[in-house]
Structure 1
Amino acid sequence: MDDKTPRYSFPLEESIGYLLRMTHRSFARAVQKEISPRGVTIGMWYFLRILWEEDGLTQRELSQRVEMMEPTTATALRNMEERNFVRRVRNPIDKRKVNIYLTDEGRALREVMLPQARAINQAALAGVAAEDIASLRRVLCQMRANLGPGEPIEEL
């Protein structure tokens, strides 16, 4: 083995992490294309998805659910508030906390955007057998459990 021959080899196409990242980026581009006409960024999308399921979370809870750093969450929420998608309300019991609520406009986005997200998922899974989809879900959940939820990230 000479100095130019790598000691270890791990081609990108063999890396599950790389394949997942590239697939995620493809999903993100497809979603962004659909949501941007309504003034929603991909970063906002993640927060809306959580709030559509559980409105009124505190800012900290929302950060934890999306796995974003709190300053990043604060910036996203400020942008969402400017677009009238959410409103922040001081918690009446603990004044240090701020609860995040969808506005009527933010809530209405669900009826338009979730069908678009479902269509993107269906397009991505075209030609994939139902049992393979079920297996993929199990494998992804197991991989996440193996690696743990991770630390929040700073950037959207």
Structure 2
Amino acid sequence: MKEKTIDYILRATWQAVARMYNEEANKYGASMAVGFALLSIDKEEGTPSTSLGPRMGMEATSVTRTLKSMEDRGLIERRPNPDDGRGVLIYLTEEGKNKRALSKETVLRFNEKVKSVVTPEQLANFIEVADKINELIQEKSIFNTNELLSNEKNY
């Protein structure tokens, strides 16, 4: 059998996780993106809208769409940022706090289930490998143009 590439394993696993979370969230009329946003918003202090994209790893347009949907459903409210007149803080409504608790419970249940079938060493190795992959990406060392050019000369 052909060996699976690392990116295939990551993509297939993430798609399965996303599908699982979306199926669960759908039972409550939500989505994984909404659940993730609920968990990313500080439930007491609110969160600047501009920090949600980076915190969630989403593009600004996707965050804007998700927040609009959440506001329409009464899960969040926008308030002017008292420290920055141009900024907006996102706050959870009571309904948003209830849905946030449900999202948190769902994530914790997933984590506990995974931890029940893998050893602490396996989990530590998984986290270490994921951290290394993220490091390589952050350092832009995977597709470094200079490195690629020097390797081409060897062919």
Task: Please say whether Structure 1 and Structure 2 have the same fold, judged by a TM-score greater than 0.5.
Answer: yes
Q: Determine which structure has the larger strand proportion and give its number.
A: 2
CA contact under 8 A between 1:84 and 1:105: conserved in structure 2? yes
| Residues in 2 aligned to 1:12 and 1:52: alpha-carbon distance in whole angstroms | 45
| 1:146–1:122 CA distance, 2 compared to 1 (3 A) | same
| Residues in 2 aligned to 1:115 and 1:13: alpha-carbon distance in whole angstroms | 36
**Which of 107, 118, 137 does residue 108 from structure 2 map onto?**
118
Give the 5 Å matches for 1:3-152. 13-52=3-42, 55-124=45-114, 126-148=116-138
| 1:109–1:85 CA distance, 2 compared to 1 (3 A) | same
Letter of the aligned partner of 2:25 in structure 1? Answer: I
TM normalised by structure 2 equals 0.77
| Residues in 2 aligned to 1:122 and 1:80: alpha-carbon distance in whole angstroms | 28
- Tell me the number of residue pairs that the alignment of Structure 1 and Structure 2 aligns: 140
TM normalised by structure 1 equals 0.77
CA contact under 8 A between 2:43 and 2:97: conserved in structure 1? no
Q: Identify the residue that residue 6 of structure 1 maps to in structure 2.
A: none
| Residues in 1 aligned to 2:4 and 2:104: alpha-carbon distance in whole angstroms | 32
| Residues in 2 aligned to 1:17 and 1:110: alpha-carbon distance in whole angstroms | 31
Q: What RMSD, in angstroms, separates the aligned Cα atoms of the two structures?
A: 2.5
Deviation at 1:16, TM superposition (A): 1.0
| Residues in 2 aligned to 1:45 and 1:71: alpha-carbon distance in whole angstroms | 17
Deviation at 1:87, TM superposition (A): 0.7
| 1:54–1:72 CA distance, 2 compared to 1 (3 A) | farther
| 1:54–1:12 CA distance, 2 compared to 1 (3 A) | farther
The percent of aligned pairs where both chains have the same amino acid is 27
Deviation at 1:29, TM superposition (A): 1.3
Higher relative contact order (CA 8 A, sep 6+): 1
| Residues in 2 aligned to 1:12 and 1:56: alpha-carbon distance in whole angstroms | 49
